[in-house]
Amino acid sequence: GRLEAVTQQMGYHPQYLDSFLKMQHYLMHMDGPLPFDCRHYIAIMAAARHQCQYLVNLHMLQFLRAGGDPQWLRGLDFIPPKLRNLNEINKILAHRPWLITKEHIEKLLKISEWSWSLAELVHAVVLLAHCHALASFVFGCGCEQDEGPGGRGSLKPLSPGSQCFCEATAGSGCSQELLRINRKRSLDSCMELDCLRERMQRIHVETEGREEMRLLQQDREEGEGRERRWVIALTRLRDSPLTDTDGEVTGATNLACYMQDPDFGYQDFARRDEDQTQVFRAQDYSWEDHGFSLVNRLYSDIGHLLDEKFRMVDGLQSSAMAKRLGCEPSVFKRGIWNYIHCMFGIRYDDYDYAEVNQLLERMLKVYIKTVTCYPEKTNSEMFDRFWKQFKHSEKVHVNLLILEARMQAELLYALQAITQYMI
């Protein structure tokens, strides 16, 4: 399965993994404002901003599985204007979220043939922030550099029943309940054809009735039709300019077709004493008091799932790291969280930022900033060589803090802009 490396890493904290998969399953596969194929294409656009081939390949397969048009995979020039218009906010959210204004929101929501609804835009914003942050985790834990035939970045044609992004395998250490929750998918997108044929064969043996035989034949024909459609789609994809001579999707150089202005990247947020309006005051607009209620109102229940995930990562223990520094685990985690938010211009009036330099060693700060702001620059040795005195599970915990703090920061800026537009 394409997600195995990520689930293995998150599996060091199974309670968090449970919460993560439930939120992601709801975001990608349950009822919501956006069509399923558009969700995966938006994920491709988001992952491409950080050159995350791992996530791009994964969502390309899921896009096809959801019935998406293979021509869209040729790049932004081949998608509807409505989706293409999302590129600007995707670019800003990924690299400099403090630049988002209500004018960006107004431009997307203006009355036209390609306008977005508020509910659709909130769904898209959550998707973008989720995939940007997940790209940080993928690079931070070395999933992108995984070795193997063709490398982790290669895309091989998988069967229609191959594991999807939200599914957990038996070897991932997840509970059976988690497996059940994340396999509630439609027959077309979740069951392997072999399993389908076995089920139909059991029906034939048990019933031996004419009606059952008729249904069996009908299901078999539909299953074979789905298989033929997949072969055609993947053949078209192999024949497109995106692929090499072996029929595999090539490396990160091709990701440029999914983004505009590729040179736009992170720049240090500079606090200017003469221009305090740039600083995002957490006391003026917070997730708990403002963001949660807005997102939950426009995209039902996603706020509860996001809030559970934020609380879950905050509740994870980092006793060894905190003990080494002689502080409480909560103090250490807050230092990391506030340092990440500070890099995006979010500041807390009740926090002494001198603590950050006391709590976080220079090398750890370099690692956190790299994974947070430009994860594509993370090399395969950073995870293993930094802070060797910490357990592997605690290194993963730091990457989970990066994932969640970054996602919340992007959401705060986007939701504040939406709120200002609504006012």
What string of H, E and C letters represents the secondary structure of 315-334? HCCCHHHHHHHCCCHHHHHH
User: Which amino acid is residue 217, in one-letter code?
Assistant: Q
Active site residue 131: no
Cα Rg for the chain, rounded, in angstroms? 22
In DSSP terms, which residues pair with 347 in a beta bridge?
281
**Half-sphere exposure at residue 4, Cβ-oriented, CA atoms within 13 angstroms:** 9
Give the C-alpha separation, 316 to 63, whole Å: 34
Q: Which of 52, 141, 143, 190 is catalytic?
A: 52
CA distances from 225 to 157, 160, 189, 230, 377 (A): 17, 12, 13, 9, 43
Half-sphere exposure at residue 37, Cβ-oriented, CA atoms within 13 angstroms: 13
How close are the terminal C-alpha atoms of the chain, in Å?
Answer: 45
Instruction: Give the Cβ contact number of residue 386 at 10 Å.
Output: 17
Give the CA distances from residue 238 to residues 155, 245, 247, 367, in Å, rounded to whole numbers and listed in that order.
10, 9, 5, 37
Q: Decide the pairing of beta strands 280-281 and 346-347.
A: parallel
Which residues does the annotation mark as catalytic? 52
